[in-house]
């Protein structure tokens, strides 16, 4: 919670809040995220995400950049904080899941090791706080029912920052281990066929009838939900706003839900001690 005293202290020292706004609608933004944005003088973020929260940032100095300019906007946030500003770096979903938290911390480390003031002195450097938000995989899971009730892996198909060969190895590893798999960044104009290759890899280990949930714009006004199978999943529209959830060998679909059993119904009851009875 931002109090009057610590807010004034942060303004003199500077602060960076790396804020997750979840899907972006007000009802999905945590009170902590809202209070951090309210306490900020400067807002930094990907312009598309800033358009989701106009009411929260209307009286702020806003630094928006386009896609692939992550280093530029995080560097701008550090520069503003070093001048004593309170800065919110906005991420959709959760800032620690395929988002800005790691880059902000990496840049702070880089500047500290390079001797750039004020990052060299932990006691004097701006306050840094990572504020969690609802990640896309959680929003998609809720939209689909309960597909993530057992072990799962999240894999991004974007090879802009990760070699495609490594992504393929991770797909093989997750599928061969019978994880439920959440696929981020499945398809774009620049890489239209990665999702086809990923589906073919999954079919080496999973039945073609394995349930698949395709969620576009999770928890937003234009949300669409499709439940299908691995065999049929490529028949539906998939883009960069889509997250795909592929079940494990125990997952099943029922009506508008995908359910992955956790095993509660078959677990042996725990023994009750005499102390518990008393």
**Where exactly are the structural domains of the chain?**
4-134, 137-259
Spatial separation of the C-alpha atoms in residues 125 and 133, rounded to whole Å: 25
pLDDT in tens, 112-171: 999 999 999 988 899 999 999 999 999 999 999 999 999 999 999 999 999 999 999 999
User: What is 137-259's CATH number?
Assistant: 3.30.950.10
What pLDDT was estimated at residue 3? 46
What pLDDT was estimated at residue 267? 72
The sheet with strand 15-20 has its strands ordered as: 61-65, 42-46, 86-91, 15-20, 127-131
- Beta strand segments in the chain, E: 15-20, 42-46, 61-65, 86-91, 127-131, 145-146, 152-156, 180-184, 211-216, 224-229, 242-246, 252-254, 257-259
Spatial separation of the C-alpha atoms in residues 34 and 83, rounded to whole Å: 23
Which pLDDT band, with edges at 50, 70 and 90, does 268 fall under? low
Within 8 A by CB and 6+ apart from 125, the residues are: 14, 108, 112, 118, 119
pLDDT in tens, 221-249: 999 999 999 999 999 999 999 999 999 99
Q: What is the mean pLDDT of residues 59-63?
A: 96
Percent of the chain with pLDDT over 70: 92
Report domain 4-134's class. Answer: alpha beta
Q: What is the mean pLDDT of residues 262-273?
A: 74
pLDDT at 270 > cutoff 90: no
Q: What is the mean pLDDT of residues 209-227?
A: 96
What pLDDT was estimated at residue 157? 97
**Joined tokens for residue 205:** 């280990």
Q: Which residue has the tokens 């090791």?
A: 113
| Distance in angstroms between the alpha carbons of the first and the last residue of the chain | 41
Which pLDDT band, with edges at 50, 70 and 90, does 190 fall under? confident
Which pLDDT band, with edges at 50, 70 and 90, does 43 fall under? very high
Torsion of CA 27, 28, 33, 38, to 10 degrees: -30
What pLDDT was estimated at residue 272? 60
Tell me what the pLDDT averaged over the chain comes to.
Answer: 93
């Amino acid at each position: 919670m931002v109090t009057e005293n610590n807010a004034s202290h942060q303004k003199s020292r500077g602060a960076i809040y790396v804020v997750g706004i979840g899907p972006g609608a007000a009802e999905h933004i945590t009170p902590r995220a809202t209070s951090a944005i309210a306490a900020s003088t400067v807002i930094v973020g990907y312009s598309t995400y800033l358009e989701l929260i106009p009411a929260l940032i209307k009286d702020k100095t806003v630094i928006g950049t386009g896609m692939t300019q992550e280093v530029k906007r995080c560097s701008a946030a550090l520069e503003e904080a070093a001048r004593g500003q309170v800065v919110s770096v906005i991420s959709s979903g959760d800032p620690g899941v395929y988002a800005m938290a790691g880059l902000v911390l990496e840049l702070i480390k880089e500047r500290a090791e390079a001797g750039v003031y004020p990052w060299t002195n932990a006691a004097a450097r701006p306050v840094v706080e990572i504020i969690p938000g609802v990640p896309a995989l959680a929003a998609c899971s809720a939209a689909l029912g309960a597909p993530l009730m057992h072990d799962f892996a999240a894999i991004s198909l974007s090879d802009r920052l990760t070699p495609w060969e490594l992504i393929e190895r991770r797909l093989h590893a997750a599928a061969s281990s019978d994880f439920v798999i959440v696929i981020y960044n499945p398809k774009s104009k620049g890489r239209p066929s990665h999702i086809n290759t990923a589906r073919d890899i999954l079919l080496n280990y999973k039945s073609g009838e394995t349930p698949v949930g395709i969620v576009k714009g999770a928890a937003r006004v234009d949300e669409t939900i499709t439940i299908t199978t691995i065999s049929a999943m490529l028949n539906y529209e998939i883009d960069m706003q889509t997250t795909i959830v592929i079940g494990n060998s125990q997952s099943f679909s029922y009506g508008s839900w995908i359910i992955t059993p956790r095993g509660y119904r078959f677990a042996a009851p725990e023994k009750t001690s005499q102390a518990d009875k008393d």
